[in-house]
Structure 1
Amino acid sequence: MVTLDDALDLLPEAWHDDIADDSAGQGCTLGYTAAADGLRTETIERVQRIFAEREGDADWQALGASQQLDEVFPSYNGIGSWDLLDELGITTVYVLRPD
């Protein structure tokens, strides 16, 4: 069974940090939840499988996280954080912090 944590593990840390910075810049805290349609489990499992299959591939390991994801989602010609979240069925939740 695929969980939200499984999906979030596919989000590069630097991308999460950028989203968290955006949230903080708007005076909010950041959370994630499954999209209204739910997690895209087939896509998540496919990406997990690709990463597992390429674990011992030195060329793959030499790529940065975003380059690896570009290879997994070639139709984007450079997938970004918001596109990845959509592909995985994840929605960001910005919760306004009280002053």
Structure 2
Amino acid sequence: MAGATLQDAVDLIPEAWHDDIAADAESQDCDVCYAVSTGGLRAGTIERVQRYFAEREADADWQALSQGQQLDECFPAYCGIGWPDLLDELGITTVYATQTTH
């Protein structure tokens, strides 16, 4: 792999979790985007998860799991990883920006 990017990390977040994050931002009259955390992007972790997903792609049992369950397998120490922990593991953070009206 040529090196993990912020977009690679964001792509690993399940769509339902993106929706939860966006709803939280909206409840605070904010828009949300993702940025590299102050500790830096955890490229090794991102690449490990990408490899794990690629290796399991043809596995019907794997495909039957939700995206969250698939991530749980990638991070077994959490016994169920949630989006805040996933963002920490990937080295990204949410940025809430106040919505402006014109």
Give the TM-score of the pair, scaled to structure 2. Answer: 0.94
Aligned to 2:72, which of 56, 70, 76? 70
What RMSD in Å do the two structures reach over aligned CA positions?
0.7
- % identical aligned pairs: 65
Task: Say which SS state the counterpart of residue 38 (structure 1) adopts.
Answer: coil
The number of residues matched between the two structures is: 99
Q: Does 1:85 align with 2:87?
A: yes
4+ residue runs of structure 1 moved beyond 3 angstroms?
none
State the one-letter code of the partner of 2:74: V
Q: Does 1:38 align with 2:40?
A: yes
Q: 1:98 Cα deviation (Å)?
A: 2.7
Q: Unpaired runs of 5+ in structure 1?
A: none
State the one-letter code of the partner of 1:74: P
> In structure 2, how many angstroms separate the alpha carbons of the residues matched to 1:95 and 1:31?
8
Give the TM-score of the pair, scaled to structure 1. Answer: 0.97
Aligned to 2:21, which of 19, 22, 47? 19
Partner in structure 2 of residue 52 of structure 1: 54
For residues 54-82 of structure 1, the C-alpha deviation after alignment (integer angstroms, 9 at most, x for no partner) is: 00001100101000011110100100001
Task: Say which SS state the counterpart of residue 31 (structure 2) adopts.
Answer: strand
For residues 24-57 of structure 1, the C-alpha deviation after alignment (integer angstroms, 9 at most, x for no partner) is: 1100000100001111000000000000000000
